[in-house]
């Protein structure tokens, strides 16, 4: 399994990077390469031109710059003070070695994953490929006009959604912002609502009131030391005089998109996270998530665990 030949471009500025992506039809952006390059080895989504973002200072300077590694974020004392759940989530991604290379941009723009897709070319030839690779049929939900249901499995996105955050993209005109809530599309292949092929993530900015929120993230995975989430729930609570005045619940690894769940969050407002209210919100979330049969754990177990993860996250948001 060799990585197919490609041309590596090393632009020095965002402007140059956008121009290169516009010039070539078949391109991918490269952060740390911890996801993109293993996929290339397996012949998944290979392009002829790779544009490395590693030389772009503007991606490394802001504290939530797309080019900062997860290891840097995990060890950033200021971020730990301001957004402790973000730093905590970064520390649960993959392994320490991977986090040394893995960037925030690569994590948020992580490709979706599926049991039928993330396989070697030989495996796909032997067992039949899928809609996201070489086939016109989804192996998970094979009906006509089907849509790819590969799962979004990044750990950082739900935490940003719980704090309230905005993504800043490099464009041919300079930059533009997109609320994180409107970034991803519920389609395992298309992945984003409207991010042009030449656009890429520059940085993330937290909402002005983000530090008023208490946020906690809970993750389900096979091996604690290593694995992608099989389910992830971030809860965010804004307290005032001992009462919940606003709440957010966001998930990852349950659909093709990380997403906010307004119904379970709404029942929390006005109370003080009483046990029965936490139970009610968690049960609403369990009912709402729709895991597919495309990861290691069974959809039934992952769905059941949404309730447990949600309750744990909410219980961690109580004032100490």
Ligand X SMILES: Cc1cc2nc3c(=O)[nH]c(=O)nc-3n(C[C@H](O)[C@H](O)[C@H](O)COP(=O)(O)OP(=O)(O)OC[C@H]3O[C@@H](n4cnc5c(N)ncnc54)[C@H](O)[C@@H]3O)c2cc1C
Contact flag: residue 103 with ligand X (CB under 6 A): yes
Asked if residue 105 binds ligand X (CB under 6 A), the reply is yes
Whichever of 62 and 271 has its CB closer to ligand X, that residue is 62
What is the contact mask toward ligand X in residues 145 to 184, using x (rule: CB under 6 A)? Answer: ---------xx-----------------------------
- For ligand X, which residue has the nearest CB? 106
Tokens (6 digits) for 165: 């955050």
Is residue 255 a contact partner of residue 161, using CB atoms and an 8 Å limit? no
Residue 128 within binding range of ligand X, rule CB under 6 A: no
Rounded to whole angstroms, how far apart are CA atoms 238 and 236? 7
Alpha-carbon distance 233 to 219, whole Å? Answer: 7
Binding residues among 42-81 for ligand X as defined by CB under 6 A: 53, 66, 70
**186: contact with ligand X by CB under 6 A:** no
Q: Which of 71, 109, 168, 254 binds ligand X (CB under 6 A)?
A: 109
Pick 76 or 111: Cβ nearer ligand X = 111
15: exposed, middle or buried (C-beta count within 10 Å: 0-12, 13-18, 19+)? middle
Number of residues that bind ligand X (CB under 6 A): 32
Taking contact as CB under 6 A, which single stretch among the options 7-15, 72-80, 98-106, 257-265 is the one that binds ligand X? 98-106
Nearby residues of 110 by Cβ (< 8 Å), 6 or more positions away: 35, 152, 153, 154
Residue 253 binds ligand X, judged by CB under 6 A: no
Q: Work out whether 112 is an interface residue with ligand X (CB under 6 A).
A: no
CB of 10 to ligand X, least distance (A): 14
Q: Does 258 bind ligand X (CB under 6 A)?
A: no
- The smaller minimum CB distance to ligand X, of residues 42 and 239, is found at 42
How many CB atoms neighbour CB 224 within 10 A?
8
Q: How far is the CB of 135 from ligand X (least distance, A)?
A: 21
CB of 45 to ligand X, least distance (A): 8
Per CB under 6 A, does 188 bind ligand X? Answer: no
102: contact with ligand X by CB under 6 A? yes
Within its chain, how far is the Cα of 78 from the centroid? 23
- Which of these segments, 27-35, 118-126, 204-212, 255-263, binds ligand X (CB under 6 A)? 27-35
Residues of this chain that bind ligand X (CB under 6 A): 28-36, 38, 53, 66, 70, 93-94, 98, 101-103, 105-107, 109-111, 154-155, 200-201, 226-228
């Amino acid at each position: 399994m060799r990585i197919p030949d490609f041309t590596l471009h090393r632009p020095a500025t965002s402007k140059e990077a956008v121009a290169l992506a516009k010039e070539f039809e078949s391109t991918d952006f490269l952060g740390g390469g911890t996801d993109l390059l293993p996929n290339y080895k397996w012949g998944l989504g290979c392009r002829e031109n790779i544009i490395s973002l590693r030389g772009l200072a503007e991606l490394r300077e802001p504290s939530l710059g797309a080019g900062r590694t997860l290891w840097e974020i995990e060890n950033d004392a200021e971020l730990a003070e301001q957004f402790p759940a973000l730093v905590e989530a970064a520390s649960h991604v993959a392994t320490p070695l991977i986090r040394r290379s893995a960037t925030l941009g690569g994590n948020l723009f992580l490709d979706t994953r599926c049991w039928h897709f993330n396989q070697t070319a030989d495996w796909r030839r032997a067992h039949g490929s899928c809609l996201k690779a070489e086939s016109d049929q989804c192996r998970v939900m094979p009906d006509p006009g089907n849509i790819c249901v590969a799962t979004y499995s990044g750990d950082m996105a739900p935490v940003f959604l719980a704090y309230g955050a905005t993504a800043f993209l490099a464009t041919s005109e300079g930059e533009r912002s997109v609320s994180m809530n409107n970034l991803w599309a519920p389609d395992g292949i298309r992945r984003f609502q409207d991010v042009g092929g030449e656009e890429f993530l520059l940085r993330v900015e937290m909402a002005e009131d983000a530090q008023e929120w208490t946020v906690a993230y809970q993750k389900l995975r096979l091996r604690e030391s290593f694995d992608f989430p099989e389910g992830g729930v971030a809860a965010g609570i804004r307290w005032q005089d001992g009462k919940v005045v606003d709440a957010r619940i966001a998930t990852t690894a349950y659909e093709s998109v990380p997403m906010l769940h307004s119904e379970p969050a709404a029942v929390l407002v006005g109370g003080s996270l009483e046990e029965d209210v936490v139970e009610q919100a968690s049960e609403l979330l369990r009912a709402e998530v729709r895991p597919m049969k495309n990861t290691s754990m069974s959809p039934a177990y992952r769905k059941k665990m949404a309730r447990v993860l949600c309750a744990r996250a909410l219980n961690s948001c109580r004032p100490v």
